[in-house]
């Protein structure tokens, strides 16, 4: 990452405002997620199993991932600045409902449905951020801007996780303590929305003519009925899929990130079970170990942000993705099989580098090859794949992983899959290395 280029990006007033909105929201995400993890998986009165963990992943990820593309169509129609202002307000309101449910000791269907809304709105928010970024930086700055903003957003989420862990130690890990942490998180989401109001209303697109054209109406037409709007959503998704199909680099990038997320879901499920049943037999100590794992992984994300921009300038994004997938295979082989906490910690760092390095390359590839009028839909499809593959792999792993997470055969299978995936992606990406131009 070039210091001079980064300095030029950060000096942009509108970039700083967009960046501050991201940081505040993702810091709160970390607090929210640790509060929930502690309540659902690491409460002394609850015994976590692979099946329960997979059910939680499925309930909180799969349904809203299926609805994610619908959000993308509206991101291409509604003012993205308004999305960034109002989605944190909605999240704050729903988080307060979650807090009330936790305080009353509920963790059934209603609890998970409200969590589903919070996480679903978050993906809507993050998709809008990704679609908005090209409006506040120049195209040649996108790699560095992504590396800086996306990665530091992820790192700040880990910091938020640490803050959530400290709040848990302060307020307690029971129902009342978790409810207080969630109430604090609601206030932090409101702060993110307040920061977004500093951005000019029409800055982030889409512009009125584009939005009207996408909606299939003229400036003076009445708003379409709900049924017509849903039909427009489906038609828009079809258009977005055809647009992706015409952009080979984008299609391969989505395939690569989907494959990696499937593998990552298996590994994260193992990590959760290892922390709960192998590295420790105490719930609070297990949560502390998981927090340490996530913190080390966050350091890997930060390292990826530093090394990815200069590397891709030398060897291309496609080559870097292939190398990262191959590195994941080697790292899991050397560090996964001992099933010792120090080795698994080192592996968490390496997997953090791989995860964020691949994501940065994919984000930038999509931003470079997808027309602005389609970016919202494409990034929502991206989010759907990102989370659906993760949840599906967690659910699949739950059918065979033992309760303590120790599964040498699974580690070897992941190693083999990463190795094959690296070769297949590199072969496919070099068939036609020419970039596809974007028509703005």
Separation of alpha carbons 54 and 204, rounded Å = 37
Closest C-alpha among 395, 283, 409, 281 to residue 50: 395
- pLDDT less than 50: residues of the chain: 211, 214, 220-223, 225-226, 433-440
Average pLDDT, the chain: 81
Q: What is the pLDDT of residues 236-279, one digit of tens each?
A: 667 767 777 777 888 899 999 999 999 998 998 898 888 877 88
Output the CA–CA distances (angstroms, integers) from residue 10 to 54, 80, 141, 359, 410, in the order listed: 40, 21, 11, 21, 43
Separation of alpha carbons 229 and 56, rounded Å = 32
Q: Report DSSP letters for 139-164, one per residue.
A: GGGHHHHHHHHHHHHHHHHHHHHHHH
- Return left, alpha or beta for 406; rule: phi > 0 is left, psi -120 to 50 is alpha, else beta: beta
Q: pLDDT value at position 64?
A: 57
Question: Where would I find the H helices in 247-340?
Answer: 248-277, 283-315, 317-335
Residue 112: half-sphere exposure toward Cβ, Cα within 13 Å = 17
Q: pLDDT value at position 16?
A: 92
Separation of alpha carbons 404 and 49, rounded Å = 9
Residue count of the chain: 440
Residue 296: count other Cβ atoms within 10 Å of its Cβ. Answer: 19
| Cβ 252 vs Cβ 429: under 8 Å | yes
Output the CA–CA distances (angstroms, integers) from residue 408 to 328, 353, 419, in the order listed: 16, 23, 17
């Amino acid at each position: 990452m070039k210091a001079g280029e980064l300095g030029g990006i950060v000096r942009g007033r509108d970039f700083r405002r967009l960046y501050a909105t991201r940081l505040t929201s993702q810091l709160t995400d970390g607090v929210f997620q640790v509060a929930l993890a502690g309540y659902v998986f690491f409460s002394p009165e609850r015994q976590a199993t692979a099946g329960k963990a997979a059910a939680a992943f499925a309930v909180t990820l799969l349904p809203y991932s299926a609805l994610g593309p619908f959000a993308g169509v509206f991101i291409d129609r509604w003012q993205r600045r308004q999305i960034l202002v109002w989605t944190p307000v909605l999240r704050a309101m729903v988080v307060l409902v979650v807090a009330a449910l936790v305080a009353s000791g509920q963790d059934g269907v209603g609890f998970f449905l409200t969590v589903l809304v919070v996480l679903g709105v978050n993906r809507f928010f993050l998709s809008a951020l990704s679609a908005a970024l090209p409006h506040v930086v120049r195209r040649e700055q996108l790699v560095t801007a992504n590396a800086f903003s996306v990665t530091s957003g992820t790192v700040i989420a880990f910091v938020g996780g640490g803050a959530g862990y400290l709040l848990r130690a302060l307020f307690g890990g029971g129902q009342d303590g978790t409810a207080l942490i969630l109430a604090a998180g609601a206030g932090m989401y409101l702060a993110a929305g307040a920061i977004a109001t500093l951005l000019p209303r029409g800055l982030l697109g889409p512009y009125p003519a584009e939005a009207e054209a996408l909606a299939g109406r003229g400036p003076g037409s009445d708003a379409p009925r709900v049924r017509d709007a849903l039909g427009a959503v489906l038609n828009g998704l079809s258009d977005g899929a055809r647009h992706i199909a015409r952009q080979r680099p984008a299609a391969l990038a989505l395939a690569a990130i989907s494959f990696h997320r499937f593998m990552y879901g298996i590994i994260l499920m193992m990590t959760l079970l290892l922390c709960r049943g192998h590295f420790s037999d105490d719930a609070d100590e297990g949560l502390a170990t998981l927090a340490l794992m996530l913190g080390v992984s966050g350091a890997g994300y930060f390292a990826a942000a530093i090394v990815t921009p200069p590397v891709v300038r030398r060897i291309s994004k496609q080559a870097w993705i292939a190398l990262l997938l191959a590195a994941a295979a080697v790292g899991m082989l050397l560090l996964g099989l001992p099933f010792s906490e120090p080795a698994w910690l080192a592996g968490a760092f390496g997997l953090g580098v791989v995860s964020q390095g691949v994501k940065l390359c994919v984000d930038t590839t999509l931003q470079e090859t997808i027309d602005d009028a389609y970016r919202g839909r494409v990034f929502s499809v991206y989010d759907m794949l990102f989370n659906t593959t993760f949840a599906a792999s967690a659910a699949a792993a739950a059918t065979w992983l033992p309760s303590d997470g120790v599964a040498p055969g699974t580690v070897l299978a992941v190693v083999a899959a990463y190795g094959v995936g690296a070769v297949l992606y590199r072969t496919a990406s070099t068939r036609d290395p020419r970039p596809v131009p974007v028509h703005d």
